Structure 1
């Protein structure tokens, strides 16, 4: 998980010889996601590891003054601890209209040589290193799980959250029980990328908030170090992008954001040709997570019930393709043995995931 005391400015402490992509105004999208026709900023062969810098949107948004130096200074952060890329992006003429665009900053896109529609591109998270020792949790009006109820007062609520060492030598987030009070609640950290996706086949760039078949803002907290996200390719080269970095999140992400904070990540980009993808996973119509223990198909829809139904269908398809299990028996297995979890409920499109244990199928030969 890395050292939370260091500030990783662009290019600092990048391993010698690494393929590196910084988060400069020319290498990021802000509020929109790549579409057909958008040129990649980097082209790599399958199997390439890439070190990617990401920048959190918190502190640079218009409702925070679009001045991260001033915004973070009000919370006791020195200029040296504010990322130069955040300052440059906020001060640039990079198009961003909060009335029509999302908040998220994503780095990319990265083309994978040979990737074609019908294939899967696999993004393996090899390392997540914090770039700053703090984050922000925000609740904005009309959003979150309780719009109209919270925030209770006019204006947005952005909660600055410092990172502290704990007694075991790890790191935790720290929030006071009341503003300015001495008593503090501490919670564990598990850094991950909220947004990982591929370019859509449409000419219009998607809004950065709602997730979909392209991946995007899926906010699945399982995507920590070692996890893999499989995505169906829509355009030649796939054009992968990453962003919306988090230090921690609870399923649901009810306030609108979780602990948003900038990360440097190392990812590996692999390619699974269509025939092999069908054999391993069946017809993958949307993002699917894989960890050492789990296969995790997903469902996304504006209606949470429909998102759940999509997720169940995706799970049935996966089990049939991978292990040859009859549909009615797979349905019974899912009901008895698989947890269906709500990944988030605040991003216009709702997300549900099924956590299927690989070990349950040990010894099953297809």
Structure 2
């Protein structure tokens, strides 16, 4: 195995501030709320380098021993992240029966952010910390519970990263232990980007919501931004659930989960400017160089689609002054509505509105 391992505090730290993932700077299974205190403070417009830890390899059903777990898949100890080993060995507050699996780094206090504002989080870099990941299917989870996993045990599939035709790809064998493999592109992104919820109760890490959280939108890769309505002073932002790759839907339960080092810029957009640019935004909105990406989130997938369509109409009316009937027609003719994920209790749908269609 020949690759650069981004252990804590080492290599590739390009911003003025750096936030490692330690037992004092992460939450495991829950997301920040108003009673939490930021572990670091940034100004609007500032960049921050952040280490994230994948939950795969540290969970109880995998032995809560990442060195041993990945060792069984042929990974030497020096290729296992020290912060993952420390997290698994710690007594950090987490109830496996009631809390989620995800590890999030934060909260990050953004100076000047107030309820009514929007927080814009832009991913500037997303660097794999290891050359492998895990794709899991657990009983009672995924889109085919009762059908998969086929046996009695949960399934954690090891996926390696290799160089192929000049690019990094993920690989899976066609048969267990076989030599033939399927190769697929890597597209690193954060499954969780969010702000703290109001009140004194930390949100569960699995279902996404107006706070963002576990959105699993695979468009949120390098160069893309997520806009979130601020709920508490300072926003108390966080990131986690790092992915190397995911198809829309994430049907088995997880995608290719693996730890990333990310560089994120945090920008506060005032309430007045937010209304001008986006209208009354009540939920997450993503943006890429090519698309505006409104979202719909609901336990019912059909209703999530309806919420996404309504959000898209409102966005076109606010941003471009488009008549709502014409906006509805345009969306039908020209916009793709994609399933973000169907495995996180609250299902997600996102639209891809081409910004080029509105130039000139």
Same fold (TM over 0.5): yes
TM superposition score category, shorter chain reference? over 0.9
Secondary structure of the residue that 1:25 maps to in structure 2? coil
Q: TM-score, normalised by structure 2?
A: 0.99
1:34 paired residue number: 32
CA distance in 2, matches of 1:243, 1:45: 21
Count the aligned residue pairs.
359
Seen in structure 2, the aligned counterparts of structure 1 residues 279 and 17 have a Cα distance that, compared at 3 Å, is: closer
Runs of 4+ in 1 over 6 A off after TM superposition: none
* Among 202, 217, 221, the residue aligned to 2:218: 221
1:359 paired residue number: 356
Q: Per-residue CA shift, 1:33-60, capped at 9, x if unaligned?
A: 0011100001111000000000000000
2:269 paired residue number: 272
1:20 paired residue number: 18
Q: CA deviation at 1:96?
A: 1.6
Q: Which runs of 5+ in 1 are unaligned?
A: none
2:46 paired residue number: 48
* Among 92, 97, 104, the residue aligned to 2:102: 104
2:287 paired residue number: 290
2:138 paired residue number: 140
Q: Per-residue CA shift, 1:226-264, capped at 9, x if unaligned?
A: 000001000000010000000000000000000000000
1:163 paired residue number: 161
* Among 90, 100, 105, the residue aligned to 1:92: 90
Q: Per-residue CA shift, 1:192-242, capped at 9, x if unaligned?
A: 000000000021111100000000000000011000000100000001000
Q: Per-residue CA shift, 1:268-313, capped at 9, x if unaligned?
A: 0001000100100111111110011110000100001111111111
Secondary structure of the residue that 2:152 maps to in structure 1? coil
CA distance in 2, matches of 1:17, 1:150: 43
Secondary structure of the residue that 1:12 maps to in structure 2? coil
1:321 paired residue number: 318
* Among 261, 275, 279, the residue aligned to 2:258: 261
Q: TM-score, normalised by structure 1?
A: 0.97
Aligned residue runs from structure 1 range 166-315, under 5 A: 166-167=164-165, 169-315=166-312
Q: Which runs of 5+ in 2 are unaligned?
A: none
Contact 2:14 / 2:49 at 8 angstroms: preserved in 1? no
CA RMSD in angstroms comes to 0.9
Q: CA deviation at 1:14?
A: 4.2
